[in-house]
């Protein structure tokens, strides 16, 4: 009986380690944006998903946030909005990457002009990570710009995807 209990305990430990090792690891960035004077939160939507490509193993763990800013209490121009995110992401270890390149994790990148979409990479090049942050910002239009729609997406490769990349 003791041997069976030890085997079961070992299997439980191995199962817990495997679960921890392979569990999804989303990058959730908390970028506080001031609330509206009425107390309405900037970030209004949040999604967690996995993206798999037919030609590669593993998945990308995708975290998506959507917010709306109005010129009365946030930014007046697109450049001001990007300056805000450049600073916030830089403080969190991300560097500005390519601008205007389509990315399947952000469908808006296929619809917006290059000035409305920007990607960020890890500041530490030693990590050689596929982790990315993408920010899409475009104006709310009427007769004049009333504010901006903002989408921020993070993508983190699964362990299997990282292993495949390392073997290629």
The reply to whether 101 falls in a domain is yes
Average pLDDT, stretch 66-91? 90
Question: From CA 151, how far away is CA 81, in angstroms rounded?
Answer: 12
2 is a domain residue? no
Tokens of 126: 């030693």
Query: What is the overall mean pLDDT for the chain?
Result: 83
Tell me, yes or no, whether 12 lies in a domain. Answer: no
**Full-model pTM:** 0.81
**Which has the closest alpha carbon to 69: 43, 106, 87?**
43
Cα separation, 1 vs 19, whole angstroms: 27
Judge whether 39 lies within some domain. yes
Query: What pLDDT, on the 0 to 100 scale, is given for residue 66?
Result: 95
Domain enclosing residue 155, as ranges: 27-167
Q: Which of 119, 133, 103 has its CA nearest to residue 29?
A: 133
Q: How many domains does the chain have?
A: 1
What is the per-residue pLDDT for 94?
92
Helices (H), the chain: 2-22, 78-91, 159-167
pLDDT of residue 137: 94
Is there a domain that residue 142 lies in? yes
Task: Give the tens place of pLDDT for each residue, 19-60.
Answer: 555 566 899 998 988 777 777 788 999 999 999 888 888 889
């Amino acid at each position: 009986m003791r041997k069976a209990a030890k085997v079961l305990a070992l299997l439980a430990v191995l199962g817990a380690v495997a679960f921890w090792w392979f569990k999804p690891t989303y990058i959730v960035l908390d970028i506080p944006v001031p609330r509206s004077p009425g107390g309405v939160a900037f970030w209004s939507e949040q999604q967690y998903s996995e993206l798999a490509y037919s030609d590669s193993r593993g998945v990308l763990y995708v975290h998506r946030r959507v917010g709306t800013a109005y010129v009365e209490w946030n930014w007046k121009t697109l450049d001001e909005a990007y300056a805000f995110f450049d600073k916030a992401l830089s403080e969190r270890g991300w560097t500005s990457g390519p601008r205007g390149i389509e990315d399947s994790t952000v469908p808006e990148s296929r619809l917006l002009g290059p000035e409305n979409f920007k990607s960020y990479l890890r500041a530490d090049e030693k990590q050689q990570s596929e982790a990315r942050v993408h920010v899409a910002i475009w104006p709310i239009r009427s007769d004049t710009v009333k504010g901006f729609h903002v989408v921020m997406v993070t993508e983190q490769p699964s362990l299997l995807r990282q292993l495949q990349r390392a073997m290629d």
